[in-house]
Structure 1
């Protein structure tokens, strides 16, 4: 059984995919998603893993949070970041593997 869809639905899906890819279009953001694919992390852990400054990591986390790729949970004075959806990790990890071929 096939369903019919309006012409707007595929365009909306393409627009949403484009926005997702735009939010990921940074080596630091790809690195953050790659690191979070192994589980939740605090900012200082991401800074150490990526070898970039804390302000830079925080700036990129804001982009990922506003795109709903990353979620944040406060624990006392620290914020723990995790992926909102593991599908994004597959996209990023596949892209990294493809680039290494």
Structure 2
């Protein structure tokens, strides 16, 4: 009996990219990334910009944090959310531009 084949680096990269796209596969999460592409925001700012309630924004931020797309910085009693890097913003903004053409 042979051992199962180990995935190579390309396969692992495809899986990781798939997980990234899965984490973005929500209009609210894409909206959050779009808003954060201009700089850090607090939850109440995202709620106002997206027009959805705070628990929903918080739930989607949790998904984005778990996927390492956003990070946090605490300032006194408030938490500011920022993108880990600009690559994800480019993906989201390009996708939005593509469907608007």
Structure 2: tracts of 5 or more residues without a match: 1-5
The TM-score normalised by the length of structure 2 is: 0.92
CA RMSD, 1 decimal: 1.1
SS of alignment partner, residue 47 of structure 2: helix
Deviation at 1:99, TM superposition (A): 1.0
Change (3 A) 1:61 1:7: closer
**Corresponding position of 2:83:** 83
Alignment partner, residue 93 of structure 1? 93
Structure 1 gaps, min length 5: 1-5
TM-score when normalising by structure 1: 0.92
Q: Which residue of 1 aligns with 2:74?
A: 74
Report the counterpart of residue 3 of structure 2 in structure 1: none
Residue-by-residue CA offset, 1:30-86 (whole Å, 9 max, x unaligned):
000000000000000000000000000000000000000000111111100000011
4+ residue segments displaced more than 2 Å: none
The SS at the match of 1:52 is: coil
Equivalent in the alignment of 1:13 = 13
Shift of 1:7: 6.2
Paired positions, count: 96
- SS of the aligned residue for 2:10 comes to helix
Partners of 2:24 and 2:39 lie apart in 1 by 18
Q: Tell me the residue number matched to 1:64.
A: 64
